[in-house]
Structure formats: structure tokens, C-alpha cells
Amino acid sequence: MMAPGILYGGSSNFDGVFTQKQRDVFSSSTAPKGHLGSLFAPASSSSNFLGSSSMVSFRGVNGGKRSFFDSFDQDDNEADELGEYLHQAEKKRRLTDNQVQFLEKSFGEENKLEPERKVQLAKELGLQPRQIAIWFQNRRARWKTKQLEKDYDELRNRYDTLKSNYNNLLKEKEDLRTEVFRLTGKLFIKEKGNGQLDLRDEHKHSNALAKETVVDPMSNVPALVVKHQQEDLSSAKSDVFDSESPRYTSRMHSSVVDQDDSARAFETDQSDSSQDDDENFSKNMLSTANLLGKDADDDYPATSSNLSYFGFPVEDQGFGFWTY
């Protein structure tokens, strides 16, 4: 197979590099064969470019790296360099460190290459404009890849942080929920002991509030929670978070209780209004408390919209959209 070869010199719109097709055509018709064939320039009179030596990487030549710019100060070595070049004419040659450095600097200033700048850089570096264009193109591709990796890392960090916060909130929620259950039970026992608790009113209130538990479209938080927040704020009373307050307890209870469970627990009351003895209500309350305690790991709450406390779809809690 024919290795890539570069032809030097230039006509008005010739970039300095023939395509494989062009080379094939050329070499099969008029061009000399072999290494010299790839050196055959279609026009050299108008060439602004520095020619063969510019294309040779001096890495490893004469036992070490040689500066690209140094090469132009050593006319004595031109013959040697030409010989070296002739030897490497059909090899792919890397740019020197200085050339790359120069190009990097230019790329840093502007990663797009206007024609004037391309020609200017080609002159300064002794390369073909086509090579400059290719270098910029490849450099843009590398930059894009790096940028993608960077963006990925950034997104992943943000995701990790978000997930961590979410898990912390979940834990906090569980703790609060446990506390509510504990205090509810305590209150129930206390008020039942005093014979002051009208559990039917409590039940009505609970059901009414539970039915209000729909998601607030603005905040994605259950509207009941929003409503309670607003009420609690406006009341400006010290009993807002007073665990001994029946009002607080009933609200928290109703917002926590699953609607279905709640309905089940108070089914007797709804089906037969004549039955109003405290004992039945006591049993229902206790069974509700047991049910809730047993299902403490279940996701909150209990709205038909299948949304968790934070407004996330339950199935999304694992942030399943992100895969590793």
C-alpha cells in the first residue's frame, strides 16, 4: 500500500497535499516513480513555503531532538537534511515540539482558522497551509473530546451531590415520621385516659386533610404540607410544633396516614354511624398505628398520584436515568 506522501510547492489554490486519488493518478501517468515521485511539485515558482526541511521531524536525528527553527540556521546541513528528507519523503512525519507549541498558542487564541491566518502560520512554521488546517481540525476534535469528558465529570459530581442530599432528606423524613408516630400514640393514650378525645371529630378531620393531599404544581410538594406550612407560619403561635397540641397531632397524623389505610381503619365508623362507642374507635386507632408502624419503610405518602414526599416519582428515587 502506498504511504501518504506530500507534494510541495503550490499553485494558486493548491494546498500542498495531494489526495490519495490525485497521487495515484499522478504517479501512474507523468510522475517519476519512487520517493522522488512524491516530491514532484506541480509548480514551485510561487511557493512561499520552506520546502522539504520544514516537513521533516528532527526527532531522533543525529542522536537527539532538534529545534525546528534551528534547522533553518544551518545551511551547511541542508544537503544532509534533504537527504534525510528524501529518505523520509513517504513517511508520516510529526511536527517538531516548537511547531506544536506555536500551533497550540495560536489555537489557544482562536480555535477556528481563517484563511489569512492559515497562510500566515504556514509561512511562519514552514508548513503547508493544508497541514495547518489538518492540525487545527484534529486539535478541535481532541478539544471536543476533552470537553465532553469534562462535562461528564461535572454532571456526575452534581448528580452525586444531589443524590447525597436526597438520601439525607430521606433519612430526616424517616426520623420525623417516627417521631410523629411516637407522639401520636402518646397523645392518644393520654387523651383517652382523660376521656376528652372525640375520636369521630378526629377521624373526620383526618380524612378531610388526607383528601387534600395533592401535589402542589408549583413546588411539587404535597399541597397539604404547603398548606400546613402556611397555616403554621401565619398562626405565629408557639404551639406550631408543640407535640402536645391536638391540632398539630391530627394534622401530622392525617398527612402521614395513607388514605387507604385511613379509610380501612375507620371503615366501621363510615359504614355504621350509629356505632359511636369509644372502644371501637380505640381499636381502629390502634390498628392504624400498628399498620403504620409496620409499614414505616413504605414510601410516603399515600396519594393517588404515586408521588413521593418530594414530588419525585417513586420509581425514580434511585435516579435510574443515570447509568454507570
Partner DNA sequence: TTGTGTTTTATTGCCTCC
Partner DNA sequence: GGAGGCAATAAAACACAA
Candidates 28-36, 70-78, 139-147, 175-183 — which segment interacts with DNA by CB under 7 A? 139-147
Q: What Rg value do the Cα atoms of the chain yield, rounded?
A: 40
* Helices assigned H by DSSP within 114-128: 115-125
Residue window 258-297: x/- pattern of binding to DNA, with contact defined by CB under 7 A: ----------------------------------------
Residue 186 sits in the site that holds DNA (CB under 7 A): no
Q: How far is the CB of 25 from DNA (least distance, A)?
A: 11
- Our CB check for DNA shows the closer of 22 and 219 to be 22
Residue 158 sits in the site that holds DNA (CB under 7 A): no
d(CA 314, CA 166): 13
d(CA 38, CA 85): 11
* Sign of the four-CA dihedral 221, 223, 229, 233: positive
Q: How far is the CB of 18 from DNA (least distance, A)?
A: 6
Residue 243 sits in the site that holds DNA (CB under 7 A): no
Bridge partners (DSSP) listed for residue 313: 307
Q: How far is the CB of 59 from DNA (least distance, A)?
A: 4
For the stretch 284-287, contacts whose Cβ atoms lie closer than 8 Å and that sit 24 or more positions apart, written own/partner, are 285/188, 285/199
Cα torsion for 198, 199, 200, 206, to the nearest 10°? 120
Label residue 264 exposed, middle or buried (CB < 10 Å: 0-12, 13-18, 19+): middle
Q: Which of 49, 135, 281, 309 is in the footprint of DNA by CB under 7 A?
A: 135
- Our CB check for DNA shows the closer of 54 and 207 to be 54
d(CA 33, CA 26): 10
User: φ, ψ for residue 158 (rounded to 5)?
Assistant: -65, -40
Residue 200 sits in the site that holds DNA (CB under 7 A): no
Residue 101 sits in the site that holds DNA (CB under 7 A): no
Count of positions (residues) in the chain: 324
Residue 94 sits in the site that holds DNA (CB under 7 A): yes
Size of site (CB under 7 A) for DNA: 37
Q: Which of 44, 46, 74, 92 is in the footprint of DNA by CB under 7 A?
A: 92
Half-sphere exposure of 83 (CA within 13 A, CB side): 6
d(CA 84, CA 61): 9
Residue window 38-77: x/- pattern of binding to DNA, with contact defined by CB under 7 A: -----------------x-x-xx-----------------
Q: How far is the CB of 57 from DNA (least distance, A)?
A: 5
Q: How far is the CB of 163 from DNA (least distance, A)?
A: 30
Question: Which residues contact DNA by CB under 7 A?
Answer: 1, 3-6, 13, 17-21, 55, 57, 59-60, 88, 91-95, 100, 112-113, 115, 130-131, 133-138, 140-142, 144
